[in-house]
Amino acid sequence: MVGFTDEIGRYLETKFGNSIDEASERQVYQALMVKTRDKLSEKRFDYNKKLKDSKQKQAFYMSMEFLVGRTLRNNLFNLGLEKEVKDYLEKNGFTLDKIYDIEPDPGLGNGGLGRLASCYMDALTSQDYPMTGFSILYEFGIFKQVIHDGWQQEYPDNWLDLGSYGLAYRSDEEVEIKFYGSTREEWTDKGLKITHNDYTSVIAEPYDLLISGYHSEAVNTLRLWRAKANKGFNMKLFEKGEYARSVESDVIAESISKLLYPADDNDTGKALRIKQQYFFTSASLQQIVRNHYATYSTLDNLAEKVVIHINDTHPAMCIPELMRILLDEYEYSWEDAWNIVTKTFAYTNHTIMAEALEKWSVDLFKPILPRIYSIIAEINNRFCEWCKRIGALSELETMSIIHNNMIKMANLCIVSSYNVNGVSKLHSDILVEDTFKSFNRIYPGKFNNVTNGIAHRRWIAQSNPELTSYLNDLLKVDFVKDLSKIEKLYDYKDDRSVIEDLEKIKLLKKAQLSKYIKESTGINVDNESIFDVQVKRLHEYKRQLLNALHIVYLYRKIKFDGLRPVPRTFIFGAKASSGYAMAKNIIKFICTLSEMIEADPVVRNYVKVVFLEDYRVTLAEKIIPAANVSEQISQAGKEASGTGNMKLMLNGALTLGTMDGANVEIHEAVGDKNIFIFGLSTPEVNELIKNGYRPIDYYRSSSEIRDTLEFIRTINLNGSNFNNIVDYLINSDPYMCLADFHSYVEKQKEVENTYLDKNKWGSMSLVNIAKAGIFSADRSTEEYAKNIWNIDIVK
């Protein structure tokens, strides 16, 4: 058998006419990408055959975002080829890590939701579950962030130029998608027949990214659809003299898969977004139905063989699209079609924030998707009728799918899915007790919880090989295969020598990060200082501002009151949505603090602020292993789960957080002694809102708050001031930074004092690593597979 590295050599010879010793790094990169993809294709052939023969049920995961991260290392690692490739390259004068660095980070997502989708694909595949992901092949992923003079600037992320080698184009599986036009109703002997006329047609081309499992047989597919104009369709219109309409297809196709909307946890309400959502859900549904029909010659058993998962409401148009296909193309009656649809879909909610619950104006929606609109309206009519019959009329104001001329996508998902889940215990409780209370009453048992999880193979085994190899030697269990086994580390929680070893590894990871910080920002940081990390999207509810207020507090105390705290490096990474002015202001504020502190000969010995630009998966892999403190300080009740908190814990960082999202479960796992919890709880936040939160009262009654805020008014660096932020906090402060300020500052002091006791800190850190097993995406996805999807592994 020809070895993998022989194939690399042969590719270089035939493609570039070079032997490996004459090849460039760029050529070696291409050879590795292409040959890894081929290897996965071969493997997939066997897997697919088994899957087809078994005729078992399969899961399809619909998501507008898959934040894939670099693929080459993940694939080589999972295929067990990394060592062989590394040695081969070294022998020929190449460093594998440098080759990895050539790969663009496919940023086909914004943050947590998109990364979760990718973690789940990795985990399901590693466990041999049959799952296909569907999304859009965005030409430009999440923008590249450049910080210029403290301000965020956005640049296009042209990832496809070097990133496309991993993709397989499947021209044989193109499908047609229809927009605009009008519907016509006609009574025939078979009943009401609906036709869609004068539409504009676009083609969806499939590109497959093959996902490898870790030491598993499965190779699953992430199918990414790319839009192109329908040339044949245009030609016909042209011949008929409809010139303007003949170019419409080009215009729509040109824009649909152009770029990822950079808004996270926020509803953008734009026509292009509707088109993107329909484009990829229609393409995916058409393919699922077509394949199913080809196998079974009927769709009656669709729900027995297929489960379609909707990742938040962004792919909700799947639901009316399946109705459309069943009604209009396969001539099912409404009742029969609805019976299939309501057994096929499961929906995950990822937010309770009002501004993120998607709503579409009927006036915008209906002209773009006339048939889909008419189906949604009919689903709603029937739902409202049913509510009347069961005596739930008074609750229709909140439950109706169409209300005040707006289509509420979450309501559509709840009514049409057989299962709805939240992403952490707290979040799922809020869904049934508050956000979707009425629905829970009329659909008892429909709601449940699956706490999020992370692909631990990426987030420890690959990004922290030093820690992984140490733990492998110490524990002698295969925790890379099964993360629950890492709990064996708990036995060593009082073992000083193990604690010291872990501390050395942390120091090494901190030194690696310091080097990167120096290169990218010019700032020298002290490796012995506490590395305090807040990395996530920039959002007011996540309260980067509270973190910044504490930094200002420290600055004042050091400068004016002689405070000499344990040296600390505050590290931030965060992208702001391009239209989110306050978020951009907060970045500017943090960068200004960084500059101000660097210029102060005293303060800079105790505090450093580092804002690392362009936070993305690849950068997360550098920062997370080096963290001592994990800042998870959202206002209680607002962060659905968080997943960065899990990655940081697994790498030995201690959580400083509110009782929010999955922090609650981290607290439960490690116990009160191994975590720093502060701030108002969710019921306390609600109570305060009910009684009327007045931030100015906190400002008036606390001199620390007053001094901190008034000091911010005096900051004026290069012409920028932050009075707007101060006024906003005093007058509005929607996420209650002022209410939690004291409790946060006090907890920060406790963090500092604990850090001074190296042994205690080390033991706490060890416990966090040991107790991270339940946060593996293997556990989460197994819950989905068993409790919601009812699918088996491929044997």
Contact (CB, 8 A) for 457 and 69:
no
- Residue whose CB is less far from ligand GPV, 116 or 322: 116
- Cβ 109 to ligand GPV shortest distance, Å: 8
Distances (CA, A) of 626 to 466, 509, 515, 755: 12, 5, 12, 15
Contact (CB, 8 A) for 785 and 791:
yes
User: How far is C-alpha 93 from the geometric centre of its chain's CA atoms?
Assistant: 37
- Residue whose CB is less far from ligand GPV, 159 or 261: 261
- Cβ 65 to ligand GPV shortest distance, Å: 7
Tell me the two tokens of residue 523: 């700032």
Contact (CB, 8 A) for 461 and 468:
yes
- Cβ 619 to ligand GPV shortest distance, Å: 17
Q: Strands of 362-427 (E only): list them.
A: 402-403, 406-408, 419-422
- Cβ 110 to ligand GPV shortest distance, Å: 6
- Cβ 427 to ligand GPV shortest distance, Å: 8
What is the β-pairing status of strands 182-188 and 191-197?
antiparallel
Where are the alpha helices (H) located in 450-607, listed in sequence order? 456, 465-475, 496-521, 544-561, 581-598
Cα separation, 471 vs 652, whole angstroms: 12
Residue from 574, 492, 567 nearest 539 by CA: 574
543-552: b (≥16 Cβ within 10 Å) or e: bbbbbbbbbb
E strand or H helix that includes residue 91:
helix 82-91
Q: Strands of 180-246 (E only): list them.
A: 182-188, 191-197, 200-212, 219-229
- The catalytic residue positions are 350, 536-537, 542, 643, 647
In degrees, rounded to 5, the angle at the alpha carbon of residue 661 between the alpha carbons of residues 658 and 662 is 100
- Residue whose CB is less far from ligand GPV, 56 or 681: 681
Contact (CB, 8 A) for 791 and 56:
yes
- Residue whose CB is less far from ligand GPV, 152 or 577: 577
Cα separation, 111 vs 786, whole angstroms: 27
Instruction: Tell me how far apart the terminal alpha carbons of the chain are, to the nearest angstrom.
Output: 25
Q: How many CB atoms lie within 10 A of CB 145?
A: 22
**Contact residues for ligand GPV (CB under 6 A)?**
110-113, 116, 264-265, 312, 350-351, 356, 423, 452, 639-643, 661
- Residue whose CB is less far from ligand GPV, 111 or 163: 111
Tell me the two tokens of residue 67: 């934040």
- Cβ 504 to ligand GPV shortest distance, Å: 32
- Cβ 357 to ligand GPV shortest distance, Å: 8
Cα separation, 250 vs 137, whole angstroms: 17
- Cβ 111 to ligand GPV shortest distance, Å: 4
For residue 688, give the amino acid letter.
L
- Cβ 264 to ligand GPV shortest distance, Å: 5
- Residue whose CB is less far from ligand GPV, 640 or 737: 640
- Residue whose CB is less far from ligand GPV, 73 or 542: 542
- Residue whose CB is less far from ligand GPV, 348 or 651: 348
Task: Tell me which residue has its CB nearest to ligand GPV.
Answer: 112
Output helix, strand, coil percentages for the chain, rounded to the nearest 5: 55, 15, 30
- Residue whose CB is less far from ligand GPV, 350 or 556: 350
- Residue whose CB is less far from ligand GPV, 264 or 782: 264
Length in residues, the chain: 795
Contact (CB, 8 A) for 538 and 574:
yes
Cα separation, 767 vs 495, whole angstroms: 12
- Cβ 693 to ligand GPV shortest distance, Å: 22
Using DSSP, state whether 742 is helix, strand or coil.
Answer: helix
